A and B are shown apart, each in its own frame.
Chain A
Amino acid sequence: MRLLQREGLRVIFPRNQTCCGQPAYNGGYRDEARRVAAAQLDLFPQSYPIVVPSGSCAGMMKHHYPDLFAGTPWQVQANDVADRVWELTGFLTEVLDLQLKDLGEPVRVAMHTSCSARREMGVANAAEALLGQLQGVELVEQDHKSECCGFGGTFAVKQPEISAAMVGDKTESLRRTGAELVTSQDCGCLMNIGGAFEKQGDGPKTCHIAELLWERTRER
């Protein structure tokens, strides 16, 4: 939010927002998802862009709201909201054409692009372009980069063994890069990957890309 504000934008944080409804939607509970999602629709009445700092929530609002609300009284409103949704890094590059000046110490960073950011929102390049602007950041690439980290929301709970195998492989790939920091545009992936590193006892730190960009470019 500070990042956006610094660029001269007026940032509004609707106090009543809760959750986009994705967990229930992916669990098959569409009525419950719709109930929660409907409560969000009214919060964005103006025609401002809606910037979402997590790929999967953005994907839910942009691509699944129209389906979820098709044939309901909210249909028009849901489509309107969907049209205005941006994933944060996509917004920063495409709309703001953000220029960054790195003030931080040199650091090796690996980027994990979440599956929804990559495939639903199509913004895999945006985050890398932003990181590329930071002189002090050496961006390293892990093997099987585009592969899912194994989070998948309810999947991690319903299929814990498969999820564990996937996050195990993902953390190993990330570790092999020698990165000190792993970043992502998605909170779910970070929680999954970061949690696994912590349990393993060591490993790179994890940090959301918004925080990384802000911390490295802010004047102190």
Chain B
Amino acid sequence: MSGEFHDGVVKALSNEALRGHLRRAMDSLIEKRLAVFPDSDELESLRHRCMGIRANALSKLPDLLVHLEARCEEQGIRVHWAETTAEANSIVLEILRSHRVERLVKGKSMVSEEMGLNHALEAEGIECLESDLGEFIIQLAGETPSHIVMPALHKSKQEIAELFHEKFPDIPYSDDVDELTAVARGILREKFMQADAGLSGVNFLVAETGTLCLVENEGNGRMSTTVPPLHIAVTGIEKVVERLTDVPPLLSLLTRSATGQPITTYFNMINGPRQPGEKDGPQEVHLVLLDNGRSRIFADEELQATLRCIRCGACINHCPVYTRLGGHAYGTVYPGPIGSILEPQKEGLERLGELAEASTLCGACGEVCPVRIPIPKLLNRLRWEGVRHDGSGETAGQGKRRKQSQALAWKGWSTLASHPALYRTAVKSASRFRRLLPQQLGPWTHVRKAPEIAEKPLRELAEEEGFSHE
């Protein structure tokens, strides 16, 4: 990974246009969020409540999943379980095959990105069409989402206009947003009509009522889950909440944190397939519950908090590192702070542990997270897991980032700093011989001058001034 991430960073940082574009986008998202939380007491009590709702759900996760399954089945929703993404893909494929599906239309789903579903299905000759406008754009461009809520956030209007012109040469060039939207609407309406099946993600699962909740603005989610005769929903096992009354506060914080909207245009609650006498809706609804490392994350009391996430993206919008890099540099499905805690745990520290180091721990993410995931604390914990060598704990790839040279350096440092006399001598000689110290301190001095060491250490000054040091 190391090389990959570094290459991504260098590439992203050298793209001036991207950096300006990201900064403006993030500034506006931050401002919009601020505007819908005028009352910080209300915000804090709502965050506290939502954290409680999610933590409560996790505390009974296995029971809630079993209950959810039973409620869904009662209502005619078929429930499937998958331990790995490969298993999830083959479940979806099997359902599609048994219905002879050739064309699938998709609503936005990060879990399907995690599964690499489009590739898996296309390899089997099934057409997968993304119908969320942002997803549609990046599918046209052959890219991956750069943000979990706004997948095409990295693209400017001109880039999209050129992309449409290249892919649909029959339609006159335009960089007018309304016209571009109309083009997509026209194309996708045809596809909704023709699709043999629709696939979506899920924002919340309600165990009490067996409900699949979907949050969206465009209506493509509703189209995908209502028009085709077959609907498959894919989601992670952690998405369940206990009661229906848990939903309103979560929904309120989700949309306000994500895009600064009091609510999205559509909130769609699905409780089953078309009933006798109903004139539309899918004849079959399937729910695929994916583990893919989540149960392992679940096993650690502290890291379990990762699973509270409701995928609002606020941590990403407020992250100074993401603002510099954009999503692609991370090279993962989930970018930004949430990605930096989730991905190393999912994929192993050996490969992705570096992401936990790519943070100043400034805390901007934790400050806005609607379910109060202590992201900086978890990043720090993952750094520890990366170099830990006591063999306890669950995290994948534990200890794999330990380098002998580094470990020795820290050991040496700790010896010095836990023996005051030694430390004093070291600091003193650094002061005395400061002129002899290097002026080039590796990468630090590329953009900064090396810090100057004081003529006299503070302790000596304090002593001279007569401060007591009992």
Contact = CB atoms under 8 A, between A and B. Distances in A.
* Touch A–B, Cβ below 8 Å: yes
Interface of A: 1-2, 5, 10-19, 21, 23-33, 35-36, 38-39, 67, 115-116, 118-120, 146-148, 150-168, 191-192, 195-196, 198-199
Contacts of A11: 467-468
Given A152-B359, A159-B358, A199-B445, A19 B417 contact: yes
Given A13-B469, A35-B418, A28 B384 contact: yes
A35 B416 CA distance: 10
Interface in B359-401: 359-364, 366-367, 377, 380, 383-388, 401
Interface stretch (B211-219, B246-254, B280-288, B317-325): B317-325
B417 A199 contact: no
Contacts of B411: 32
B413 interface: yes
B448 A199 contact: yes
A17 B448 CA distance: 29
B141 interface: no
Given A29-B407, A38-B418, A148-B364, A24 B451 contact: no
Contacts of B420: 15-18, 39
Nearest to A19: B417
Given A24-B414, A38-B418, A148-B320, 19 more contacts: A14-B469, A18-B420, A29-B414, A30-B388, A32-B411, A36-B413, A36-B417, A115-B362, A119-B363, A119-B367, A146-B364, A158-B357, A159-B357, A162-B325, A162-B358, A163-B360, A195-B450, A199-B448, A199-B449
B38 interface: no
B456 to A, nearest CB: 14
Contacts of A36: 413-414, 417-418
Smallest CB-CB A-B distances: 4 pairs: A152-B360, A195-B448, A160-B443, A28-B383
Given A35-B414, A119-B367, A155-B360, A27 B383 contact: yes
Nearest to B387: A28
B362 A119 contact: yes
A30 B406 CA distance: 13
Interface in B336-368: 357-364, 366-367
A164 B467 contact: no
Contact of A196 (B360, B384, B388, B448): B448
DSSP class of B's interface residues: helix, strand, loop or mixed? helix
Interface residues of B, number: 58
B423 A18 contact: yes
B324 A162 contact: yes
Nearest to A147: B320
A158 B387 CA distance: 15
Contacts of B385: 28
A38 to B, nearest CB: 7
A21 B19 CA distance: 35
Nearest to A5: B467
A157 B444 contact: yes
A32 B467 contact: no
Nearest to A196: B448
B410 A166 contact: no
B363 A115 contact: yes
Contacts of B366: 119
A74 to B, nearest CB: 13
7 contacts: A12-B470, A15-B463, A18-B420, A29-B387, A115-B362, A155-B359, A195-B450
Given A33-B414, A38-B418, A147-B364, A12 B468 contact: yes
Contact of B462 (A1, A19, A25): A1
Contacts of B447: 164, 167-168, 196, 199
A208 B1 CA distance: 39
Interface string B435-453: 0000000111111111100
B459 interface: yes
Contacts of A16: 420
B263 interface: no
A115 B465 contact: no
A197 B411 CA distance: 33
B445 to A, nearest CB: 7
B126 interface: no
A32 B324 contact: no
B177 interface: no
B55 interface: no
B183 interface: no
Contacts of A5: 467
B171 interface: no
B140 interface: no
Contacts of B445: 199
Contact of B451 (A26, A120, A195): A195
B9 interface: yes
Interface string B79-107: 00000000000000000000000000000
Nearest to A167: B447
Nearest to A28: B383
Given A33-B414, A155-B360, A160 B469 contact: no
Nearest to B449: A198
A39 B417 contact: yes
Residue from the set B385, B386, B413, B459 with the largest chain A CB neighbour count within 10 Å: B413
B13 interface: yes
B10 interface: yes
A195 B443 CA distance: 13
Contacts of A29: 384, 387, 407, 410, 414
B34 to A, nearest CB: 11
Contact of B361 (A26, A35, A167): A26
Contacts of A192: 448
Contact of B468 (A10, A31, A198): A10
A39 B446 CA distance: 35
Contacts of A157: 442-444
Nearest to A14: B469
B302 to A, nearest CB: 9
A26 B383 contact: yes
B362 A148 contact: yes
Nearest to B385: A28
B337 to A, nearest CB: 12
